[in-house]
Amino acid sequence: MIEIDGLTKRYGSTLAVDDLTFTVSPGHVTGFLGPNGSGKSTTMRAILGLDRPTAGSVRIDGRRYRDEAAPLTRVGAMLEANFLPGRSAYHHLLYLAQSNGIGRRRVDEVLELVGLQSVARKRTRTFSLGMRQRLGIAAALLGDPPTLLFDEPINGLDPEGIVWARRLLKSLAAEGRTVLVSSHLISEMALTAEHLIVIGRGRLIADTTVTEFTRNAGTESLEDAFLRLTTDAVEYRSPADSLAYTGSEN
Partner 1 sequence: MTTLTPAATTVSLPTRASRAVHAEWTKLRSVRSHVAALVATPILLVLLGAAMASMTVAAWDALAPEMRADFEPVASSLSGIDLAQLVLGTLGVLLVTGEYGSGTIRATFAAVPQRPLLLGSKAAVFAVAAFVVSAVGCLAAFLIAQPILAEQDLNVGLGDPGVLRAVLGSALYLTVAGLLGMGLAAILRHTAAAIGTLFAVLFALPLLAHFLPATISDRVVRYLPTNAGGAIAQLNPGPTDLAPWTGFALFCAYAAATLFVGAVLANRRDV
Q: Which residues bind partner 1 (CB under 8 A)?
A: 1, 11, 26, 45, 48-52, 61-63, 65-74, 77, 79-80, 82-88, 91-92, 94-96, 98-101, 139, 144, 146, 175-177
Cα separation, 210 vs 190, in Å, equals: 6
What's the closest the beta carbon of residue 39 comes to partner 1, in angstroms? 14
- 239, with CB counted inside 10 A (0-12, 13-18, 19+), is exposed
**Nearest CB to partner 1, comparing residues 92 and 229:** 92
> Between 53 and 229, whose beta carbon lies closer to partner 1?
53
| Cα–Cα distance measured from residue 204 to residue 115, given in angstroms and rounded to the nearest whole number | 36
CB of 224 to partner 1, least distance (A): 35
Q: How far is the CB of 69 from partner 1 (least distance, A)?
A: 4
With respect to partner 1, which residue has the nearer C-beta, 87 or 222? 87
113-136 CB burial, b ≥16 within 10 A, e <16: ebebeebbeebbeebeebbbbbbb
Q: Least separation, in Å, of the C-beta of 149 and partner 1?
A: 10
* C-beta of 51 vs 223, nearer to partner 1: 51
